[in-house]
Amino acid sequence: MDMKWPPCSRPLLGACALLSLATAALVGHVLLHDFMVVPRELHDFSQVPKEMNQAHQQRARGPGPQPSLGAAPTQCEVPPNSRFDCAPDKAITREQCEARGCCYVPARWRPRGSQMAQPWCFFPPSYPSYKLGNLTTTETGYTATLSRDTPTFFPKDVLTLRLDVLMETESRLHFTIRDPANRRYEVPLETPRVHSRAPSTLYSVEFSEEPFGVVVRRKLDGRVVLNTTVAPLFFAEQFLQLSTSLPSPYITGLAEHLGPLMLSTNWTKVTLWNRDVAPTYDVNLYGSHPFYLVLEDGGLAHGVFLLNSNAMDVVLQPSPALSWRSTGGILDVYVLLGPEPKSVVRQYLDIVGYPFMPPYWGLGFHLCRWGYSSTAITRQVVENMTRALFPLDVQWNDLDYMDARRDFTFNTDGFGDFPAMVQELHQGGRRYVMIVDPAISSSGPAGSYRPYDEGLRRGVFITNETGQPLIGKVWPGPTAFPDFTNPEALDWWQDMVAEFHAQVPFDGMWIDMNEPSNFVKGSLDGCPDSDLENPPYVPGVLGGTLRAATLCASSRQFLSTHYNLHNLYGLTEALASHRALVKVRGTRPFVISRSTFAGHGRYAGHWTGDVWSNWEQLSSSVPEVLLFNLLGVPLVGADICGFLGNTSEELCVRWTQLGAFYPFMRNHNDLHSLPQEPYRFSYSAQQAMRTALTLRYALLPHLYTLFHRAHTGGETVARPLFLEFPEDPRTWTVDRQLLWGEALLITPVLEAGKVEVTGYFPTGTWYNLQTVPAEAFGSLPPPPSAPFKSAIHSEGQWVTLPAPLDTINLHLRAGHIIPLQGPGLTTTESRKQPMALAVALTGSGEARGELFWDDGESLGVLERGAYMQVVFLARNNTIVNELLHVTSEGAGLQLRKVTVLGVVTAPQQVVSNGIPVSNFTYSPHTQTLAIPVSLAMGEQFLISWS
């Protein structure tokens, strides 16, 4: 029955409620009008969520809170795990708690393994919140007014709010809560705009009238994925809180933090306020991504994105539930219904943007160290790498190249022939990247330092309360900070990049210290005493104040205050650097940034900062890389062998083996640590590292294809197992292994002294890539001597694998074909090598794969059609290629070897394009068929065996 629930005017509320109850009874629903308002088309999904029903029953027991008397005792019988904190701002006494109209029940103990204690002071179910009125249908969804009669304990409540609900797509619901009377700061991120509601949806929406709440269900099974009625809504000038129940405790996202991929819902707080600090547990780190993904029973998933850039805490509790607590802006919420995890990730990227396509060389090996103090030393490093036969695509320099540590300068002592060194790297087929910090030296006499003089003239710097550039302190001493939200600053930055590039023809930019980092609190002159500097609610930021290790929150930027824009600083610098490189070099930009925000992957990659050289941080790098891939920043990696402290040989070998499978692979370390270039270690360690690097270079065509799919289709490159196998709950918490795409499973050793490793193998057949003959990889060193199984036939189980120091376990999933290429010491070299295919057959003899190829660095290749895209198909003992798009690009790629895994019986005959192949080999032990061929990748071929 299709019923419309009429909006009620205030005088008729009682009669209207009776009418609603009568109608609900008529259609067999128990629906209390003061409790739920169900939009017409969602009528069939209006079962009341359990948490709300309990709250309603409790609310019916007594009147609303009387702040002077405290809460009624029956109101306080809330299970400990379902208590929402009524004192988020400070520790308070029983009297203060009850004066807020809240319940006070001291907890006897702190839950084991929890980061924070459960609240002693908590909201009773009857705590006054907003009330929904004037619910109206619009072209895109609904609009309504929210009003609050009773102020909260935070100053400057906004008592009347506007709710807009947009049913944007089949799987995306978007709602905003704003102050209709005053324009507040909103994140200046370009997001999709819709003009009509989606004709059909995977979700239904319901509204609780009093207390106001939004309830979103999955139509498929009626499961509640969002229910904001579980705690009161707060919307004050500097404190916004929105809580929701969670349908499952399996939640990931909310970067950047150190720890497992799955967050704990056992009283955990994640603070988002970008901060320069070496990765440490339970502190706010370099980036802020207010997005989470929840895994649900049956392989389903949903995501929620709060588009808000203010300092915030996100609190997780065991019921399970989540509370967003922000210090400003508006509530701008997207609910993404998947229905499976892969779709949730793509739907999130539909909002914030798909990743940029990196240049091919950016996927090679990068080498850096703080302490390469001259061009002579830097050249020697490159020569040592070449002599030791280690691939090296990109040489980097840290601060050492600068004159007095100032951007866009180089010192003439150690780097007098800097331009010549970069040109030599280019002649050797290599690229060059150097560090650039955002802070601009302000201490020299006028006219002595062009970037500052020009910046001052053009008004590009963040200003203090007097309108003068705010002066902090970073590497060069006193510094001003460019405001990358100012269009003039984008042009100034581009000019500085262009002028320096005219001297030193660098290829990419490493943007560091862009949280922004500051060696003094706020500024050299301190910060004013104001509400922005001392807000009524300070999230759990390291240092206890918003200005700790950064700028004054009250400082002014073009678009708003730093209080609102701080978390966007790294993103806006990444955009400015990306834009400058496009204009200056005319090829695909390469930018690696420390600080990030939602949407960062559109412009740049990320490295995980100043990690320590220890086994714990090696291990933690896996979930960090997986997390950033889920957030649309696939070009990510940790400093191989660690940045801070001294590595050991074993740690460096294991880190290089894992690092060969970071999408971004760089070895970098600190001035004060022992050098850790691959050639520094023993012969056997070098051999193990060389094997790992050679494997990576052989797999680069596959990796590049994965980046193409991420760029065009919103996919991940490195991905957690649950993304491919969401219906297997045993994969959900696996974060010490990673997949490359759908096909390659990497099981690294992450502990000292181990020569075995245990990994989870989802259902299916997984072929050990060590069974692929060495010549398929070009000049790969001989395979390890350890005994290994050629294939694992798993029913979804943990498997212990041999893993001596020279081995990283790499398995190819049945049903997939991956392209390989003979490695070289640079991608300039390797891209000219012949190719091979590794074909992993399923039990029914089928497999599929893909290759995307272009010149590796031009802009607009898709628009111009200057690329090659080939699909490989295996079935019925044949392998063919399907040419989706072919141009001269890639025409020279030669296929020389096809290795087929899972050939059960020995073939009698092999034919390639109608010509018999006499020199094929077959191993009955590994069931591997190796076929030498001479074919062109860009021309149709057919290989068969019988």
Which residues carry out catalysis? 512, 515
266 vs 321: CA distance, rounded Å: 10
Question: Which parts of 41-157 fold into alpha helices (H)?
Answer: 50-59, 94-99
- Partnered with residue 597 across adjacent β-strands are 288
- CA-nearest of 563, 370, 556, 571 to 465 is 556
Note the Cα 397 to chain centre separation in Å: 26
3-state secondary structure of 540: coil
What amino acid occupies position 348?
Answer: Y
35 vs 203: CA distance, rounded Å: 20
Instruction: Give per-residue burial for 392-420: e unless 16+ CB within 10 Å, then b.
Output: bbbbbbbbbbbbebbbbbbbeebbebbbe
- Other C-beta atoms closer than 10 Å to the C-beta of 220 total 12
Backbone angles phi, psi at 160, to 5 degrees: -125, 130
- Partnered with residue 396 across adjacent β-strands are 433
672 vs 12: CA distance, rounded Å: 75
| Residues ≥6 apart with Cβ < 8 Å to 143 | 134, 135, 136, 162, 163, 164, 165
Backbone angles phi, psi at 656, to 5 degrees: -65, -40
CB contact at 8 A, 500 and 436: no
- Other C-beta atoms closer than 10 Å to the C-beta of 12 total 12
| Residues ≥6 apart with Cβ < 8 Å to 443 | 476, 477, 478
- CA-nearest of 906, 931, 911 to 920 is 931
Strands (E), 159-199: 160-167, 172-178
Question: Which parts of 586-632 fold into alpha helices (H)?
Answer: 615-630
Q: What are the distances in angstroms from CA 879 to CA 764, 882, 912, 931, 933?
A: 21, 10, 9, 11, 12
3-state secondary structure 778-815: CCCCCCCCCCCCCEEEECCEEEEEECCCCCCEEEEECC
| Residues ≥6 apart with Cβ < 8 Å to 50 | none
| Measured torsion, CA atoms of residues 529, 537, 352, 361, in degrees rounded to the nearest 10 | 70
| Residues ≥6 apart with Cβ < 8 Å to 189 | 307, 352, 598, 599
- Other C-beta atoms closer than 10 Å to the C-beta of 859 total 14
| Measured torsion, CA atoms of residues 445, 450, 451, 452, in degrees rounded to the nearest 10 | 20
DSSP 117: P
